[in-house]
Amino acid sequence: MREAAIESKAWVFDEARKVVARAERLGRDEVVFETGYGPSGLPHIGTFGEVARTSMVRQAFHILAPEKTSRLICFSDDMDGLRKVPDNIPNGEMLAAHLEKPLTAVPDPFGEHDSFAHHNNARLQAFLDSFGFDYEFVSATQTYQSGAFDATLLTVLENYQAVQDIILPTLGEARRQSYSPFLPICPESGKVLMVAIEPVDVASGLIRYTHPDSGATIETKVTGGACKLQWKADWAMRWAALEVDYEMAGKDLSESVTLSSRITKALGHTPPEGFSYELFLDEKGEKISKSRGNGLTIEEWLTYAPPESLSLYMFQSPRKAKRLYFDVIPKAVDEYISFVDKFADMKTAQQLTNPAFHIHNGTVPSGASPVSFALLLNLVSASNAENKDVLWGFIDTYASGTNAETHPFLDRLTDYALAYYRDFVAPNKTYRAASAEEKNALDDLLARLQALPETADGETIQTEIYAAGKVHFEDNLRAWFQALYEILLGQSQGPRFGSFAALYGLQKTCALIEAGRDGKLLSA
């Protein structure tokens, strides 16, 4: 497997090879992977995706370098000041009174934790734990206040002018006048102050600044949590202090990565290897945001689909911008099933490019489901099922011997299918009447299916559906299949109709065709 991994074209191995080369170059026996999170809003799928993708690179690294150890640090920038009140949380008026304070000093609007940051940190960790990620959670507030960053903060102060020279050319004239990499915490209001500072005693970490409200001259240490760093300097300081070897970031942070890397070098350290991934977009093509709450939340995806499908969505095409909304869920589930089903028959080199390998860290289930998620959704639609027992009745007939004990993943899918159909398919179903031409085609299909044995498989049924379409829709078979879905299922598309008919049962399918032909489904 290691030999195959060395040559593998999968993007995770491309990344892992960079980390291996860095470890060898720097003489590291232990490698540090890091992901960052700003708890200024509820965690969204983009945050999860960074942890999932980094974990996959870490797994690939251990295949290439099994003799080395590694750690994954999930760092929360929870000492950052609250800049605005998110749109998707309760008690926004309460938070508005605490703007510019560190997130760990802002009350929890949900009333469940010590602060807003503690709430968001807890939610993120709960999701990561539910996926079984191996990580160390690190809080910026705790790390700053404990003194763990003190030595590196002093190094930043020693190189204050070098940091200024890197950042100031990127700022507008007004911002240059007040910029400093150090952000003092006001001893009175507790706010994170964006003010110009003057180094007083570099060796002891003493700085001076003018308070923006009172005009008073204040001296403070940069250590012990009395200050935090501006974003780009903070990132660089963190890389140096934690000796980070690898961290990926969204494409929108490309300039920040460049500047933070330059600062890291100015501090006498080597910036980590990295990977620039494209952003997730909502259904309107806009970037998803923690503060706006647009796009899907992790909870929403996991309400309607298994976690494996979410991991697949994260693995695929990370350098392409992808829309992240409810319609992508069924496709992701069925692609996951397909990858798992193909895995056992692949050679080792092919297995290493199969997403299922990386989702399951090499231990891929022998099979996911004999029934696709799309088929289950259509089965719920046609049968008007309200509980999984109804679905299992059809499944048992379709695949004898299949049950919840032998196929636990399929059992989970039935719950997801019922929930997804209830909330997204049923409200949008619109049946239409069949035209005269379509009625003739349906009569032809009905006769063909009634001539088949009840045990006919999906391929046999599909052949007859295709044959009826060739007779009546020779020049437009696509319109024939679309008509079937619109007349019989109230939607414009679906899975192979032959597979659906085999699962639903020939007798019931014929009854459905009769009802659609006669317009009896229009009131459904």
CATH code for the domain of 443: 1.10.10
511 and 476 both lie in a single domain: yes
Written as six digits, the tokens of 155 are: 């190094």
Residue 22 burial (C-beta neighbours within 10 Å; 0-12, 13-18, 19+) = middle
In a domain, 55, yes or no: no
463 and 503 both lie in a single domain: yes
pLDDT at 524: 60
Give Cα 467 distance to the centre of its chain: 43
pLDDT at 294: 59
Given a contact cutoff of 8 angstroms between Cβ atoms, the answer to whether 145 and 233 are in contact is: no
442 and 488 both lie in a single domain: yes
Residues forming beta bridges with residue 227, ordered by sequence position? 184
In a domain, 442, yes or no: yes
Measured CA to CA, the distance from residue 138 to residue 68 in angstroms comes to 22
Opening angle at CA 256, ends 77 and 288, nearest 5: 65
Opening angle at CA 39, ends 37 and 43, nearest 5: 75
In a domain, 25, yes or no: no
442 and 512 both lie in a single domain: yes
499 and 442 both lie in a single domain: yes
In a domain, 314, yes or no: no
379 and 443 both lie in a single domain: no
Taking only the tens place, the pLDDT of each residue in 374-410 is 999 999 988 888 899 999 999 988 888 888 999 999 9
Domain limits at 449? 436-517
Amino acid letter, residue 85: V
pLDDT at 163: 97
pLDDT at 293: 58
* CA contacts within 13 A on the Cβ side of 120: 30
Measured CA to CA, the distance from residue 339 to residue 362 in angstroms comes to 13
Contacts of 108 (CB under 8 A, 6+ apart): 114, 115, 116, 118, 119
442 and 496 both lie in a single domain: yes
Note the helical H segments in 276-354.
298-304, 307-315, 328-343, 348-351
In a domain, 378, yes or no: yes
Q: Which of 428, 444, 468 is the last residue of a domain?
A: 428
453 and 403 both lie in a single domain: no
In a domain, 217, yes or no: no
In total, how many domains does the chain have?
2
In a domain, 268, yes or no: no
Look at the block and give the residue holding tokens 């004999």. 370
409 and 461 both lie in a single domain: no
Contacts of 300 (CB under 8 A, 6+ apart): 326
In a domain, 275, yes or no: no
Q: What is the rounded radius of gyration, in angstroms, for the C-alpha atoms of the chain? A: 29
421 and 471 both lie in a single domain: no
453 and 504 both lie in a single domain: yes
Given a contact cutoff of 8 angstroms between Cβ atoms, the answer to whether 279 and 28 are in contact is: no
Residue ranges, the chain, pLDDT below 50:
none
Taking only the tens place, the pLDDT of each residue in 403-439 is 899 999 999 999 999 999 999 888 888 999 999 999 9
Helix (H) or strand (E) holding 390: helix 388-398
- What is the DSSP secondary-structure string of 73-109? EEEE-TTSB--S--TTSS-HHHHHTTTTSBGGGSPPT
Q: Which of 428, 446, 464 is the last residue of a domain?
A: 428
Measured CA to CA, the distance from residue 130 to residue 363 in angstroms comes to 18
